[in-house]
Amino acid sequence: MRITGTQYTVEKKESGIELKNQGRVVETFQFQGKTLSEVADAVWDTLKRKGVVVQRAALKEDLAALFPGSRPSGPLK
């Protein structure tokens, strides 16, 4: 799934969430036992280090689509 307003994509795998740029894996984030906000903050920090400007709320909405039915404050499965 493409992150809104960027050329980066995210994919949900068994091992974690993969952040990709042009098909290459930039970084992998573990989501087991973390909340959606914690994962979104980690991805946002990585994008910020790469020089990409994205709103946290938009990023959080994009990541929420990977976890249908999850609660905003509950742990991800």
pLDDT confidence of residue 73: 82
Identify the weakest region by mean pLDDT among 23-27, 28-32, 60-64, 66-70.
66-70
Nearby residues of 1 by Cβ (< 8 Å), 6 or more positions away: 9, 10, 11, 62, 65, 66
Q: List, for residues 40-49, the tens digit of each pLDDT value.
A: 999 999 999 9
pTM (two decimals): 0.90
